[in-house]
Chain A
Amino acid sequence: MKFMRLVWKNVFRKKTRTFLTMGSIVLVLVLIVILTSLLHALEYDQNAGGNRIVVQHATGLANFMPLGYRQRIEQIPGVVAVAPEIWFGGIWKDDKPENFFGQLSTDPEAWPKIFDDYAMPADQLATWQGERDSFIAGRELVNRYHWKLGDRIQIRGTYISIPLDLVLRGIYASKNETNIFFHNKYLENSFMGRNGQTGIYYLKARSPQEVQPVTEAINKMFENSSAPTKAMSEQQFQLQFVEMLGNVKLIIRLISLAVLFVIVLIVANTMAMSARERVTEIAVLRALGFLRRQVLGIVLMEAVVLALLGGIVGVLVSLPMVRGIVEGLKHSPAATFTYNFKVTGATLLMAFVSSVTIGVLSGIVPAIRSSRVKIVDGLRQVV
């Protein structure tokens, strides 16, 4: 620690170079914090959102399943409630992204049992359950579009070729407030020959521990039927939309590693230049009695301090950026992932470890070289 003042002053010896290098570290750390937070959102514990399960056709969402499955699924031990749901996928106003939100038909009687962590006044729930052309919406959606209870909205169908004309009867609060729910009955007799079928089943298991056995039981139950199923946790269901783009998590990890590697090269170059410029000074330190390992420690510490400073600034910059991204995504189809898109303690720890790693990896070679400077060579002016 006695050498910290020397380390600190050496870090800021060439201010322009230091700040430019720090700037590149800041950018990398911002990127890493954002990507790590995104990874965290994608890897969100499948049980953390409750014990909900989604069942879809084994071949994909384009294929539907018989409504008759409902009764059979309800018989599986550990199942609390089941609701068939259909993704309506219609257009409200226009097809601009800011006007996009999820539209799901459901069974209003089963819905509160499945989404028991969603909060909604009992009178609103009862009204919705009693009116076939009503819907409920998340508070975030209601605020975004300035809806009020009693407002009517019209949604144009896309792959389901009927329009929806719905009245808002309830506002729910939850982690994900970007969907509306309306009656399955609204779609009955108007669904292009798919009567008696549903897109997915949403169900609730009694406990998180029962999610796995229930999904296995469902898949086994229908494996030899004409419509085999793929049951999964709610989180896995949501994740598959992201993974339609490819192995997103792997891509994110590879990008993170690539930027880390690049920044190590950049900082290593800076440190090498800095050390090369100071060969005589380092020789003087050695002549004064500094040990090789002390010189090594000083130069290495300079790289670590530089990287840590960049890391700290990077994290400070990334915090509001992540909040901004979350706000932005709330108005997009990826809104589902925003409720767990945040900078966690683990992410901050990872940023700290990344900074130290950048410092050590970029500083080690210049530090070793500096520690091996021959005093008589370094003091060329003297020799």
Chain B
Amino acid sequence: MASLISIDHVTKIYRRGAEEIRVLQDLVLDVPEGEYVALMGPSGSGKTTLLNLLAGIDTPTRGRVMVAGTDIGRLSQSDLARWRAENVGFIFQLYNLIPVLTAFENVELPLLLTRLSRKERKEHVHTALGIVGLGDRMDHYPRQLSGGQEQRVAIARAIVTDPKLLVADEPTGDLDARSGEDVLTLLNRLNKEFGKTIVMVTHDPKAAAHAHRLVHLEKGVLVDAPEEAGHTRSAP
């Protein structure tokens, strides 16, 4: 299957004064379209930085990040924003819903950047909230929802523009076991039924078990995972 994501010898260095912090080192990774990848590793290993790079909210110091055929490192800030709006859905650990907006309005947010009419936006939002099973909570504000429900609204917001790629950073990290399982089941469904490519950062092995492939990072370098290790490699 063709690669949706191609990370080609990517290095990411943060500078703090004169000090250089090498977060990712010469990383190479391909993620085929439709794959569900779990990124694991200890704190500070560079998981979230890698997620940010392939989601287009950060840029590599060296190397190239290709997503859906676009070298996103070459895009201007504005083009990158438009690219994100079309191609990436974000799922955060703390949901990051806008508290003053209802579930409907939160899910509608990404659609405000499109040329869709109000009626079309409404249809899309209804569909997305229906998929996550919250069609009856549209007028609820985040404070009126449980943590699991909030995360499902966030997932609806992530899929409402029908992006190819979903990036999730610890999506179950703030949820109880049952709600976490519901969210993971939902992500599975989005992967299997709707063909979404998912890259998920997690510390939880049970959550990682839902993925097709585990990618382990340690000190900014990919290390072979037990499952399907042939998909991952770290450059020498």
Contact string against B for A residues 281-294, beta-carbon threshold 8 Å, 1 for contact and 0 otherwise: 10011111111101
Nearest B residue (CB) for A10 = B100
Question: Which listed residue, B92, B105, B110, B157, touches A379 by the CB 8 Å rule?
Answer: B92
Binding site for B on A (CB under 8 A): 2-3, 5-6, 9-10, 12-13, 280-281, 284-292, 294, 375-376, 379, 381-383
Given contacts A280-B96, A287-B55, contact A383 B113 (CB under 8 A): no
B92: which A residues are within 8 A, CB to CB?
A: 284, 379, 381-382
CB distance from B121 to the nearest CB of A (A): 9
Q: Are B52 and A288 closer than 8 Å at their CB atoms?
A: no
Binding site for A on B (CB under 8 A): 48-49, 51-52, 55, 57-58, 77-78, 81-86, 90, 92-94, 96, 98-101, 105, 109-110, 112-113, 157, 169
- Name the residue in B52, B100, B157 with the highest tally of chain A Cβ atoms < 10 Å from its Cβ: B100
Q: Are A3 and B112 closer than 8 Å at their CB atoms?
A: yes
Q: Are A289 and B113 closer than 8 Å at their CB atoms?
A: yes
Question: Which listed residue, B48, B78, B98, B109, touches A383 by the CB 8 Å rule?
Answer: B48
Task: Please measure, in the bound complex, the distance between the C-alpha atom of A304 and the C-alpha atom of B94, giving whole angstroms.
Answer: 31
- Add 8 more A-B contacts to A6-B101, A382-B51 (CB < 8 A): A5-B101, A5-B105, A284-B96, A288-B90, A290-B113, A376-B57, A381-B92, A383-B49
Q: Are A375 and B57 closer than 8 Å at their CB atoms?
A: yes
Provide a sorted-by-A list of 11 A–B residue pairs whose CB atoms are within 8 angstroms.
A5-B101, A9-B100, A284-B96, A291-B81, A292-B77, A294-B113, A375-B58, A376-B57, A379-B57, A382-B52, A382-B93
Nearest B residue (CB) for A375 = B57
B101: which A residues are within 8 A, CB to CB?
A: 5-6, 9
Task: Please measure, in the bound complex, the distance between the C-alpha atom of A3 and the C-alpha atom of B82, giving whole angstroms.
Answer: 17
Task: Please measure, in the bound complex, the distance between the C-alpha atom of A292 and the C-alpha atom of B76, giving whole angstroms.
Answer: 12
Q: Are B93 and A13 closer than 8 Å at their CB atoms?
A: no
Q: Are A6 and B82 closer than 8 Å at their CB atoms?
A: no
Q: Are B109 and A287 closer than 8 Å at their CB atoms?
A: no
Given contacts A3-B112, A6-B101, A280-B96, contact A287 B49 (CB under 8 A): no
Q: Are A381 and B113 closer than 8 Å at their CB atoms?
A: no
Q: Are A383 and B52 closer than 8 Å at their CB atoms?
A: yes
Q: Are A289 and B84 closer than 8 Å at their CB atoms?
A: yes
- Name the residue in B57, B83, B90 with the highest tally of chain A Cβ atoms < 10 Å from its Cβ: B57
Q: Are B57 and A288 closer than 8 Å at their CB atoms?
A: no
Nearest A residue (CB) for B58 = A376
Nearest B residue (CB) for A294 = B113
B83: which A residues are within 8 A, CB to CB?
A: 289
